[in-house]
Amino acid sequence: MITDEILRPPALRPGDTVMLVSPSGPTRPERVARGIELLTGWGLRPVLAPHAYARHGYLAGTDDLRAADLNAAFADPEVRGVICTRGGYGAQRIVDALDMAAVRRDPKVVAGFSDITALQLALWRGARLATVHGPGAAWTDERTPLRSAESLHAALMTTEPVTVAAVPEEETYPVRVPGRATGRLLGGNLCLVAASVGTPDMPDLTGAVLLVEDVQEPPYKVDRMLTQLRRAGALDGLAGVAVGQFTDCADGWAVTVADVLAERLGDLGVPVLGGLPVGHGVGQLTVPVGTEATLDATAGTLTVAPAVR
């Protein structure tokens, strides 16, 4: 039975086992090796899921194998965290096979982003589980340097609120409607939020702060996704919008992705804050999703309650 009570898993502690899973696209072992090194340095015990390196075309193994790895992690009392290796594509294909009873019985930290937004939306629908939107275990120091590692560590292993400030270097920095809003932070990757319209996993965004970010989507496609959300009524009653990184989102037209975001979000009548280093870009920071957030578009900050307790 789903209730409005939010499930916050225990914060990870040194000595805890975390399982590395690949619910979406195939991953690269050399990048995961760097992630294992990082997690081990935090005192955690990373363990590869049985099919973490499987490959089935553009998927990290068949649907059955990917779902089995997730369900095994959720059911194992020794596993205290589930860290996705990467996104890609495929999580939506398996979310209906997840053992939500196991998730509710023993909630644990789930971290990832990009296509993992589909998994996080499903866990929110099925268990009201607060999760962590941050880098996966397939780590690259060039894109996710020390500040990215410190941000993920804080979100997984401390119970402090997370504050992210807008930075002028981000392309979406000019996207702003001043004001202050408080609500539950929901969303993540814009493609996956839009792809959830009409499914059980599309969250009710009434009173929520919507987080959006994306990668390699030209401005007209970003326009199309936001227009779909508007026409579906999904943005009605929003409290505010937190705009993260829109990385490599350019084409040959003079209209920029920032122009599109400003136009399609700027007339909603709610505070909008762009320039947040959350998403696919260099210096990606981590934020909880599913918990209360304060978006201060005037001051340029997003503060989010921890996903863990």
Q: Show which residues are catalytic.
A: 114, 213, 280
Six-digit token string for 113: 């982003």
Amino acid at 231: R
Instruction: Write down how long the chain is.
Output: 309
Separation of alpha carbons 234 and 22, rounded Å: 29
DSSP assignment, residue 168?
Answer: T
Residue 271 CA: distances (Å) to CA of 46, 99, 127, 262: 40, 37, 29, 11
Q: Which helix (H) or strand (E) holds 293?
A: strand 292-296
Cβ within 8 Å of residue 9, ≥6 positions away: 80, 81, 107, 108, 109, 110, 129, 130, 307, 308, 309
Reference 244, options 185, 291, 160, 203; nearest CA is 185
Residue 154, number of CB atoms within 10 A of its CB: 17
Place of tokens 């860290």: 83
Reference 123, options 261, 132, 114, 57; nearest CA is 132
Separation of alpha carbons 127 and 137, rounded Å: 24
Separation of alpha carbons 233 and 191, rounded Å: 17
Separation of alpha carbons 67 and 103, rounded Å: 13
